[in-house]
Structure 1
Amino acid sequence: MIQTGPIVLVDPARRERRLAELRHRRMLLGGLRDDVDLAWRALAPADLDGSWRSAAQRGYSERRRELADGLRRACRDLDDAQTAVEAAIAAATASA
C-alpha cells in the first residue's frame, strides 16, 4: 500500500489476495452457519409436556432448551460475522 496524502493506492495483487481470503472466509462461515442452524432445528422443542414427568426427563428437556438457545445465539453471531465479511468484500472491491 502506498499512501500519498489522503489518497491510498493499493497493490492490485495484495487486494486480490485479500478478496480471495475474504471470499473463502464467507464460504466457511456460510457452511458453518448452515450446520449450526441444522443442529438448532434438531433441538427445537417438541410438544412433550404431557408425557415428560420425571425429574430426569424435565432436566433433559431443560438442557435441550439451553442448548437450542445457545445454538440460536451462535446463528446470530455467525450472521453478524457474515455481514462483516460482506462489508469487507464490498470495501475491497470499491477500492479497485
Structure 2
Amino acid sequence: MIQTGSIVLVDPARRERRLAELRHRRMLLRGLRDDVDLAWRGLLPADVDGSWRSAAQRGYSERRRELADELCRARRDLEDAITAIEAAIAAIAASA
C-alpha cells in the first residue's frame, strides 16, 4: 500500500501509472523552467544605463527589470513544484 497525499495506491499497475504521470509532469515542468530561465536571461539588463537618458528609455529599462524579477519568481516556483514532484516520486518508489 502506498499513500500519496490523500490517495492510497495498493495496485502495482495503479502505482506505475501514478509514477508515469508524475514523471511526465516533472518533464513538462523542467521544460517550462528552462524556457522561463532563457526568457529571464534575455531580460537581464545590459550595461547601458549611462547611455540611456530619456524618460522613455528609463521606463523601458525599469519594465525589463520588473519582468526579469517576475520571471525569477516564476522560476523559483517551478523549482519548488519540481522538488515536490521528485519527493512524491521518491516516496512512491521507496514504498514499492
TM-score, shorter chain, exceeding 0.5:
yes
Q: Once the 2 structures are TM-superposed, how far is the Cα of residue 9 of structure 1 from its aligned partner?
A: 6.7
Q: What stretches of structure 2 of length at least 5 have no aligned partner? A: 3-7
SS, match of residue 47 in structure 2: coil
Structure 1 alignment gaps of length 5 or more: 3-7
1:41 aligns to what?
Answer: 41
What is the TM-score of this pair, normalised by structure 2? 0.90
CA shift, 1:59, in A, is 0.3
Aligned residues between the structures? 91
TM-score scaled to structure 1, two decimals? 0.90
Equivalent pairs: percent with the same residue? 87
RMSD: 1.6
Highest Rg: 1 or 2?
1
> C-alpha deviations, 1:31-86, integer Å up to 9, x for none?
00000000000001111111100000000000000000000001100000000000
Does the 8 A contact of 2:9 with 2:15 survive in 1?
no
Partner in structure 2 of residue 23 of structure 1? 23
Distance 1:9 1:27, change over 3 A: closer
CA separation in 1, counterparts of 2:71 and 2:56? 22
Instruction: Check 1:26–1:52 CA distance in 2 against 1; reply closer, same or farther (3 A cut).
Output: same
3-state SS of paired residue (1:64): helix
TM superposition outliers: structure 1 runs of 4+ over 4 Å: none
- Please state whether the residue corresponding to 2:52 is helix, strand or coil: coil
